[in-house]
Structure 1
Amino acid sequence: MSKNISVLVYGTGFAGQGHAQAFRDMGAEVVGIVGRTQSVVQHVAKDMNIPYASTDWQQALADCKPDVVSIATPGGAHVDAISQAIEFGCHVFCDKPLTESGDSSKKLHQLATQKNVKTAFAASFRYMPDVIHAKRLVAEGAIGEPLEVECVSHFNLERDIPFGWSHRKEHGGGRLNNNFTHKLSIVTSIIGEKILSIMGEVRDDLGRAPIVDGVHNFKKRRDFIPRDLNDPSLKWGESNVEWSYTVLAQIESQIAQKPVSVLFKHGGLHPRFHEDHIVIYGSAGAIYIKGHYASGPLYFYDDNNEWQALPLPEDIAQDIPVAEGDTEKNWRYLIRELVKDIKGEPVAPYQTFKEGSQYQQLIDLIRKNDNWVDVTHLQ
């Protein structure tokens, strides 16, 4: 395939505009964009010099005839849009979560397989440079057999961020959908892709959030927090998703005799005291990566029983796409892999709807919160 890959984007907010620019930077042609509100989608299309703008997704598919669709709406709006695109024969790039439930995600994966289209699932923080470095160190045996992984993060999100999709399970909200997906992708990238078992506990520490008009860009929602939260005319929406979670998993490693134990601990509303981090412990050393999504730096516990900062290898640094932020860099990395694959070029394995479906089914299991053992009868 010698021509430029053509892309139709669904979504006009931060992710939609980010996907559009990322595809362009990776050599694709963005032929159209679709959104809910006519005035908004026309404004974004004009601002980004996108030739086609519409609020009718199915009509846009027929008019634009894209090679790829990029899905950048909240997870609750994914099913119909992706199903229609697959039926048109389009390849699909989709942000996390894949859908709002394991059942619907599984059906999309099955449909994509039946129609033989390529898919990419953008739980893409596995492409952080220090994650790639850690993966290399573990594979080289730098820490011996991997034994245990610890992922700890606290976001201290403002409790009065305006009510929206992130507060509702049916819309794709919740910290599991929007934090755990990245963390699990990071860990499986380093340790191994085969998840053996999982259990967890979730908690809604929020309860409700103020309803405010005018929020369009997810990144700017903090700007719309009401000044007077005691205003009697203020309306409130109810949260039905988790804002904190604790998950335990066992993951298979090809260089470990036993399953690797993994702890994922996240508090969306709680303040941090020490740094967020990801640590991989092994039989002969350990790797510590600073930051909730492994932004770095990376430290190695060496033979002298000391933590030593390791510089990023030059070949890894050179392979990271140029972009303003980590999210944008990671989109470009995965999009580059997808575009190469569509063109028939050699490409390393990347996450597809197979993982998107699996992750959503795991999230459904975690949300059941049914792993507790009643011990009140014990003396």
Structure 2
Amino acid sequence: MTRVLIQGTGFAGQGHAAAFRAAGAEVVGMVGRTPHVVSEVARTLDIPFAGTDWQAALEQCRPDIVSIATPGGAHFEPIRQAIAYGAHVFCDKPMTTQGDTASELHDLACERGIKTAYAASFRYAPSVLHAKALVAAGAIGAPTEVECISHFNLEREIPFGWSHRKADGGGRLNNNFTHTLSIVASVVGDRILKIAGEVRDDLGRAPIVEGVHNFATRRDFIPTDLDDPTLEWGESDVEWSYTVMARLESRFADAPVSVLFKHGGLVPRFREDHIVFYGQKGAIYLEGHYGNGALHLHDGKGWQKKTLPDEIAATVPDVKGETEQCWHYLAREFVRDIRGEEVDPYPTFREGSQYQRIIDLIREGDPWTDLTSNA
């Protein structure tokens, strides 16, 4: 049986463990930073090995696959060690915190013949799979344009942590854009020709609170008295909003497809978040920020809500939670590939390193043309 070692004890680590078990693998160990936390989580999940030393865990657990489920700032060294050991690597996004380190890991994996999976995995949401099939079947003609619009209205008082820090893999580009870019690439084509964008840190600071170990429950730690003079504050150094434009090559169109990615992490939505694929003959509208809601098709005459086809529904893991469902899908494909079964292409460190380089360019570039002299 395929053996899996998990790094990370929080929401992602526990979710990855469940996904690999559902794929028929054996989860043989879990590694975390805090001894009592990793011991308790491993005991609860019935994982035989728990520890805090990653290299020792590799040697003792002898995994076929390692699953990296920690914030992006903690990814590089454990992945490098896992590749050196010879384990295949399943890594949550972001891959690392910089394009050069992500590219280094991609190159190392290729040199060693290591299989990799990069969990920008909302491309496996049921309606996204449906949209992909419709575009491939010519339902909207040649794709011309895509828009991805989302507004999360996140609480500004969420305790200061990795998501506020560039060095730890925080920022909305790392944790939102990676998914939407993967979705668009899976539906219309993954050759990214051009990119431009801007980012904005409209948060500034967040309260420092002890005891937050699980990303999914961080809201439970928001202080009740934000005016408490003893409360400490941490300064954000990452973006909470972004606007990105891209051009992608598509095998379904002669001309490049224009894409708009617009995300506001701290602002409220008025209408639903959505992803829309426009074509020369029609359009596909997906409800939800990751297209995980209902699908509507415009055939040139009007919009119609479409039911998920049975053949696609049969491939969707029967688990609760959209994030968990997509992890299960990708983990299943990854395990099947490692076992030598034929699978469709899935996101790997190729995409992970490419996306990290793109994020670097967006954060560092200046897309603006100065018109002040013409005012």
Q: 1:77 aligns with which of 74, 77, 82?
A: 74
1:263 aligns with 2:281: no
- The runs of 4+ residues in structure 1 deviating greater than 4 Å are none
* TM superposition score normalised by structure 1: 0.98
Match of 2:183 in 1: 186
Alpha-carbon contact 2:195-2:244 (below 8 Å) kept: yes
- CA distance in 1 between partners of 2:116 and 2:300 (Å): 43
Alpha-carbon contact 2:10-2:214 (below 8 Å) kept: yes
Match of 1:130 in 2: 127
Match of 1:325 in 2: 321
Shift of 1:21: 1.0
Q: 1:169 aligns with which of 145, 148, 166?
A: 166
- CA distance in 2 between partners of 1:15 and 1:218 (Å): 8
Shift of 1:371: 1.1
- CA distance in 2 between partners of 1:285 and 1:296 (Å): 19
Write the mapping of 1:33-72 to structure 2, written as runs, cut at 5 A: 33-72=30-69
1:356 aligns with 2:323: no
Match of 1:109 in 2: 106
Shift of 1:303: 3.6
Q: Deviations over 1:52-79 (max 9, x none)?
A: 0000000000101100000000000000
The one-letter code sitting in structure 2 at the alignment partner of 1:56 is D
Match of 2:341 in 1: 345
Shift of 1:327: 0.7
- CA distance in 1 between partners of 2:142 and 2:352 (Å): 28
Match of 2:296 in 1: 299
Match of 1:221 in 2: 218
Q: Deviations over 1:263-315 (max 9, x none)?
A: 000000000001100001111101100000111210011242x1100111001
Match of 2:25 in 1: 28
- CA distance in 1 between partners of 2:111 and 2:253 (Å): 35
The one-letter code sitting in structure 2 at the alignment partner of 1:214 is G
Shift of 1:188: 0.4
Alpha-carbon contact 1:202-1:369 (below 8 Å) kept: no
Match of 1:207 in 2: 204
- CA distance in 2 between partners of 1:116 and 1:139 (Å): 31
Alpha-carbon contact 2:276-2:284 (below 8 Å) kept: yes
* TM superposition score normalised by structure 2: 0.99
Shift of 1:257: 1.4
Match of 2:330 in 1: 334
The one-letter code sitting in structure 1 at the alignment partner of 2:118 is F
The one-letter code sitting in structure 1 at the alignment partner of 2:116 is T
Shift of 1:369: 3.8
Match of 2:96 in 1: 99
- CA distance in 2 between partners of 1:145 and 1:345 (Å): 32
1:159 aligns with 2:156: yes
Match of 2:240 in 1: 243
- CA distance in 1 between partners of 2:276 and 2:48 (Å): 46
- CA distance in 2 between partners of 1:322 and 1:286 (Å): 29
Alpha-carbon contact 1:215-1:221 (below 8 Å) kept: yes
Alpha-carbon contact 2:69-2:91 (below 8 Å) kept: yes
Alpha-carbon contact 2:139-2:299 (below 8 Å) kept: no
Match of 1:8 in 2: 5
The one-letter code sitting in structure 2 at the alignment partner of 1:357 is S
- Mark the runs of 5 or more structure 2 residues left unpaired by the alignment: none
The one-letter code sitting in structure 2 at the alignment partner of 1:43 is E
- Mark the runs of 5 or more structure 1 residues left unpaired by the alignment: none
Alignment size in residue pairs: 375
Shift of 1:322: 1.2
Alpha-carbon contact 2:19-2:332 (below 8 Å) kept: no
Instruction: Give SS of 2:374's match.
Output: coil
The one-letter code sitting in structure 2 at the alignment partner of 1:171 is D
The one-letter code sitting in structure 1 at the alignment partner of 2:204 is G
Shift of 1:48: 0.6
Match of 2:310 in 1: 314
The one-letter code sitting in structure 2 at the alignment partner of 1:331 is W
